[in-house]
Chain A
Amino acid sequence: MTDRSDTVPELARPTPPAPSGGGGRPRAARRIPDHRGDRRPGGRNRRPFLARLRRDWQLLLMTLPAVGLLAVFHYTPTLGNIIAFQEYNPWDGLVGSPWVGFAQFERLFTDARFWSAAGNTLLIAAVQLVFFFPVPIALAILLDSVLSPRLRLVLQSIVYMPHFFSWVLVVTLFQQILGGAGLLSQLLRQNGYEALDVMTNPDAFLFVVTSQLVWKDAGWGTIIFLAALAAINQNLYESAAVDGAGRWRRMWHITLPGLRPVIVLLLILKLGDILNVGFEQFYLQRDAYGANVSEVLDTFVYHQALVTGNYSAGAVAGLVKGLVGLVLILVANKMAHVMGENGIYRRA
């Protein structure tokens, strides 16, 4: 699980929503080195390259470790994607395996099970977007409204905790409580009712996996929103209260606009990640619900490529996934700009 909100770059921190605060927190505005003086309105004709290098070399130096990491663990392996155009086998290696052009893509796109998996993935992602994504926001606002710091700490710890459980544990817990031989079913049975079958009923699948995600990760997702909430200028609330704004009005006009940049940013990241609904959760429950509803792209790749040693097919599926994700990110980012937000990046 590499998604969710724990990887938001520093740049994305919210800037104060309104200039009115005056003495608020000016440091937030200085996150991005102020280059504005260096260029003319057109954005061209900057200082000479060497001059900029002289000015910024420390900054560049500081990025080196990160660049190195990216190069070694992301860019170099990315080159391995050429096996998507091969009939790859590890024994002949990247160079020796026969080239087959787009044959692997053709095979993938004509495979009904690929489309079924893609459909399931999109459906699950859409449901999670609607039913999971807002939960951490609401939870963060709730937590933020708890006044006692000690109580807030306790509550936060409790809601973070499930994030650190593995999916095996989460699924087992759900099974133990909601399964056909679980706590609830046994209770129902002893009182003469029908037992539950939500853990094996394909119709309940979407509901169950989304519930699991909410239970496991909603608390963790609040962290970034809590940080954003802390950055909202408290004076705004005071002046609004003085002006007679009630609780709801303050939330609507101050809290939510304050959160908006972060929400948009996370939404974009989420969109780029939309085809990655996760592997373990679905792998673990695939057989309980049947492949028809629970096969997602990641498990499809596993069963189609890794299990049968057909790595090229897996690379093709991964590549397609990555391209779709990239397009979605670009589109979403563009939309963010249109809406007047920073998005994840903006051309300098």
Chain B
Amino acid sequence: MPPTPYRPVPSRRRFLGLLGATGAAALGASALPGCSSSSSGGGGGSSSAATSLDDLIPAYIPFGAVTPDIEGRHGAPDGFTSYPDTLLEAVPSPPGSGGRYTAMTPLWGPLPPGLGDNSFFDHVNQRLGTTVEFNFQDGNTIIDKMNAVVAGRDVADITMFPDWLINLIPQFNRAVGELFEDLTPYLAGDAVEPYPLLANLDSDAWRWNVFNGRLQGVPWPAEPFGNWVLYRRDLLVDEYGLEAPTSPEELMEIGREINDPDNERWAFGDFNLSMRQVFGAPKQWRYENGELIHMFETDEWRASVEFMREVFDAGLVHPDIVAQGDNAKELLNSGRIIFNQDGLGGWNEAYQQMLGDNPDLRIDLMPVFGSGGNDPVMHGADPSAQSVFIRRGMEPEQVEEILGVLNFCAAPFGTREYMDYRYGAEGVHHELDDDGAPQLTDLGLREVNDGYYFLSGRPPAITESQYPDFVEWKTAWYNHAAQFTEEDPFAGIRIQRPERFAAAETPMTDKVEDIIRGREDLSQLDQAIADWRRDGGDEGREFYMGVLQEHGRD
């Protein structure tokens, strides 16, 4: 295992990887099974009110002690161009009072040695003053496990659910109140003061953890964008002498120029989702003149489909990706494609895997641009990527002790606590390299794991300064892109989508894939949209309209 694995929520990728060589990832966030779910009362949806939310969530008190080198604008994450020389002490004394708690989190990778046999656990537990005993679930099969855990009401004292998983568990909004402690009295408003690092978490992420009018979970504030087009900057700029595109037309032109199947090089992977944003389609609903218009019904979305069809027709997409293979990362890393849409974390992953063998490899995010002189509409990610729940029925002191643990695990980059829970003790589990970046020792590689990292969230930050230009390029991209973030009419409202609305999306996305890949004619689109409206689209519109009214946003 390579050292310093920075993997913010690899869950969804891995989960889909597990499903096999499908194109599910290419269908995008809105089409993921993770976003569809049954809900209470036979197929109806549900939502948590956003207007009253502000009384339920903790007051936002910035933990100002760590100052970034590059400040994020428009909600973009901060950047740190070097590792700190001196670490800040964020939690002066061990918060715990000697309690012992079980924790259940997913884990991607091999199981570490268990408690009692693992000096990393001992080290962090000692820093916590609390013994946390982990029960790891294989992240790749966690859906099966957690469905059973919830249905059997067999949760640990501290249980982490990735956000996509919450949407997959039927009736989760009903389970959550019965299984987990209501954290409102402990954290709402100024009550959060004893936990300054939790108070440092983004309010939208907290709002996302309100279920049924109660604050239930501790969030993991997500980066504002989930995915975008990555490109091989070393090949495009240095080898071909081209500039990154600034319009869809330029993108197409570059694609035609560099596409070279005879030498096993294709221009593109699939970037359907990104093109929707380039052409200005909404992520899901657009609220205009008192009407809700779904993405499928907009001209902008249609333009993106037509563009993608053109891209596929021109043979610019690697055949493996035409066949919905799941090897796009490898194709980009090996230079067999130059542009590919991926999670933004794909960039770090690629560097981590490839820079050793190919030190000249450079990846960058394609600059954000719109079509026809318009601005793009960037689709924001859901504000919280995971939720940590505390088992219901514990003594208030126990809940407070656990919240102290979570507070510790929310320590941001630049603090000693962060290094503790991520990399163990310096000189034992990790050493600092020339860049000041922590490198796990042999012992660390064996014992250190993401358990504590998953017990809480922290403000997202771009910190991997050991990679050349990485922090500078990524923050520059973010600060430019974030200003085009879509204004979602449903921002901050956690919505369980009505069953029929969710179900109608599969045939629709199937049809769109057929059209994009040239198996169906573009003229089929109108019929597909009409079918979608009939089979659940219109029902969804009514439901969402009701949500708007309920929240006084219509």
Contact = CB atoms under 8 A, between A and B. Distances in A.
B22 A286 contact: yes
Contacts of A289: 519
Given A113-B507, A309-B38, A309-B170, A91 B322 contact: no
A284 B207 CA distance: 38
B514 interface: yes
Q: Which of A180, A190, A286 is most buried by chain B, counting CB atoms within 10 A of its CB?
A: A180
Interface string A283-316: 1101111111000000000011001111100000
Nearest to A171: B21
A21 interface: no
B124 to A, nearest CB: 36
A202 B320 CA distance: 16
Interface in A191-208: 195, 197, 199-200, 202
Contacts of B23: 287-288
Contacts of A287: 22-24, 323-324, 513
Contacts of B20: 168, 280, 283-284
A16 to B, nearest CB: 47
A91 B43 CA distance: 13
Nearest to A168: B20
A189 B262 contact: yes
Given A190-B262, A288-B324, A308-B36, A90 B171 contact: yes
A210 interface: no
A342 interface: no
A87 interface: yes
Interface in B150-170: 151, 168, 170
Interface size class of chain A, counting residues whose CB lies under 8 Å from the partner chain: 35 or more
A222 B513 CA distance: 40
B325 interface: yes
Interface in B240-287: 261-262, 264, 266
Contacts of B520: 290, 292
Contacts of B519: 202, 289-290, 292
Contacts of A283: 20, 22
Interface string B479-502: 000000000000000000001001
Contact of B323 (A189, A195, A288): A288
A212 interface: no
Nearest to A180: B319
Given A308-B37, A309-B499, A87 B264 contact: no
Contacts of A211: none
Contact of B499 (A168, A172, A288, A310): A310
A175 B323 contact: yes
B22 A304 contact: no
Nearest to B511: A291
Contacts of A185: 319
B264 A181 contact: yes
A303 B506 contact: yes
B42 interface: yes
Contacts of B13: none
Interface residues of B, number: 42
A290 B23 CA distance: 11
Contact of B171 (A91, A175, A292): A91
Interface in B41-76: 42-43
Contacts of B446: none
Contacts of B349: none
A180 B33 contact: no
Given A307-B33, A308-B37, A179 B517 contact: no
A181 B320 contact: yes
Given A200-B319, A308-B37, A310-B499, A90 B262 contact: no
B510 A180 contact: no
B107 interface: no
B325 A175 contact: yes
A179 B503 contact: no
A5 interface: no
A98 B40 CA distance: 12
B318 interface: yes
Nearest to B515: A290
B87 interface: no
Given A290-B510, A291-B507, A284 B22 contact: yes
A156 interface: no
B293 interface: no
A186 interface: yes
B37 A309 contact: yes
Given A175-B323, A308-B503, A309-B499, A168 B21 contact: yes
A171 B171 CA distance: 36
A90 B151 contact: yes
A89 B323 contact: no
Interface in A313-337: none
B175 interface: yes
A290 B262 contact: no
Interface of A: 87, 89-91, 98, 113, 168, 171-172, 175, 179-182, 185-186, 189-190, 195, 197, 199-200, 202, 280, 283-284, 286-292, 303-304, 307-311
Given A172-B21, A197-B319, A280-B20, 7 more contacts: A171-B21, A200-B319, A288-B322, A291-B514, A308-B499, A309-B36, A309-B37
16 contacts: A91-B151, A168-B20, A179-B320, A180-B319, A180-B320, A185-B319, A195-B261, A199-B319, A284-B21, A287-B324, A288-B23, A290-B520, A303-B506, A308-B38, A309-B499, A311-B170
Interface of B: 20-24, 33, 36-38, 40, 42-43, 147, 151, 168, 170-171, 174-175, 261-262, 264, 266, 318-320, 322-325, 336, 499, 502-503, 506-507, 510, 513-514, 517, 519-520
